[in-house]
Amino acid sequence: MKSAYRKLGRTGFDVSTLGFGTWQLGGGRWKPVSEEEAVQLLRISRDLGVNIFDAAVVYGQYSDMNGSLQSRSQELLGKAFGPNADDIFICTKIGQYDEYSHRGNFGAHRLVEHVRQSLRRLRADVLDICLIHAPSLWEVRSGLAIEVLKTLQAIGWIRAIGYSFETDPQVVLASLTQPVDVIMLQYNLLDHQCEDAIDEAADRGIGVLVGGPFKRGYLTGRYASVADLPIEEDDYWRWNLRRNPQKVSATLEAVASLPEHACEPTDLRGRALHHILRKPGVASAIVGHRTTAEVAENMNHVLAFDGTKK
């Protein structure tokens, strides 16, 4: 099995149209798999053709014996690939305090420290892609964080720089006038807000990675109602149901109303990926995988899409 690949803007990187997101694998969302299982899954994914992996300093965040915060997702990538990562790209997101609140500190000292920590955990000499993680509109407009990354890029610590966002097109568009190489944003069957921003990024030669193609599980076809949600084993659903149960219910209803929903779950997942890959300018859909079977299924979906274009 071989993946399809696309150019990531002007970076010169050829990335697989199916990427691997390590939020779930890091254990911050689901009960973590063992280190051995996680490392094996990452290596098998590379063998199947995945060559872009996404992590963040807050994915699988935990305190070590000295009380310092660490990132299990980055550590797993370092153990899986380390110095033997010449054939893959790792996208690293920095600046946030935790996985859920989107609060961050994008001052120079913190960003430099996050880059240093990421290099150490990934066992790398340089970061392939480094993104400011979910900054506010004010923080983007100030341009201070991207200037820090630009400096680190100039001295050889980072190859490509940019931002990671959710679904606010105003924030995304504000970033596109800055010296960025890559952006990551949310775009899927339900979230179309950044469609024009993707076009603008493509026109400027900025690479686009799409996170959340299954909207953190809503678009997997596994959940018809709140009663189906795996709240006993998934921190994400517990957090959302406690914080905003009305939004969870409304989103489930929106999924149920999609024309694409009237099919088997695996077909819904395929249609969700195809929706993203049909969008000009998108280089890769970053999916959170926890099993080899999930990687294989999604790889088949992206290969099927590639075949329909020929």
| Phi, psi (degrees; rounded to nearest 5) at 37 | -65, -40
Domains contained in the chain, CATH given = 5-305 (3.20.20.100)
The string of pLDDT tens digits covering residues 27-59 is 655 566 789 999 999 999 999 999 999 999 999
Distances (CA, A) of 103 to 115, 160, 168, 274, 300: 18, 23, 16, 32, 37
pLDDT at 201 over 50: yes
Task: Report which residue type is found at 45.
Answer: S
Q: Which helix (H) or strand (E) holds 164?
A: strand 158-164
Residues 6+ apart with CB under 8 A from 126: 119, 156, 157, 158, 159
User: What pLDDT, on a 0 to 100 scale, did the predictor assign at position 134?
Assistant: 93
Task: Name residue, tokens 């983007």.
Answer: 140
User: What pLDDT, on a 0 to 100 scale, did the predictor assign at position 63?
Assistant: 79
What whole-number distance in Å separates Cα of residue 200 and Cα of residue 132? 19
Can you tell me whether residue 84 is helix, strand or coil? helix
- 232 against 180, higher pLDDT: 180
User: What pLDDT, on a 0 to 100 scale, did the predictor assign at position 292?
Assistant: 95
pLDDT at 310 over 70: no
pLDDT at 142 over 90: yes
pLDDT at 119 over 60: yes
The token duo for 299 is 């790889």
Task: Judge whether 248 and 234 are in contact, CB under 8 Å.
Answer: no
The string of pLDDT tens digits covering residues 156-177 is 999 999 999 988 999 999 999 9
User: What pLDDT, on a 0 to 100 scale, did the predictor assign at position 236?
Assistant: 79
Percent with pLDDT over 70 in the chain: 95
pLDDT at 3 over 80: no
